[in-house]
Amino acid sequence: MSIRVRRVYEPPEPEDGVRVLVDRLWPRGLSKEAARVDEWPKALTPSTELRRWYHAGERSYEEFARRYEAELAAPEAAELLERLRALGDMTLLTASKSPERSHATVLARLLQE
């Protein structure tokens, strides 16, 4: 299974596979047609509290990743992770300006385990 992480603002590519938006909010200024999102599992996004904590200042990405993994261990999230794994090749889409230091990278790693 191949899992990619890309910005949702980048144009879709044939090798994207299933396109999964992993942000809680719809990306600003992007139409649904342009985004071509196949799945949008909002329950897999970081909680509002965790998101606010991480963006409140100089916070450790490693600590954010640890806390996010703990949230994903909840039964509902674990079920959704299994459902996503069953989809096969996919691209996780985020509006984050730094996808490599976002929740999408943590989620991609967990999906590949």
What pLDDT score does 8 carry? Answer: 97
pLDDT in tens, 53-84: 998 877 899 999 999 999 999 999 999 999 99
Domain boundaries, the chain: 3-112
| Prediction pTM value | 0.92
Phi/psi of residue 92, nearest 5 degrees: -90, 125
| 6 has a pLDDT exceeding 90 | yes
How many whole angstroms separate alpha carbon 62 and alpha carbon 59?
9
With tokens 């606010």, the residue in question is: 52
Reported as a pLDDT band with limits 50, 70 and 90, residue 86 is very high
Per-residue model confidence as pLDDT tens digits over 10-49:
999 999 999 999 999 999 999 999 999 999 999 999 999 9
Q: What is the mean pLDDT of the chain?
A: 94
Nearest-angstrom CA–CA distance, 11 and 6 = 10
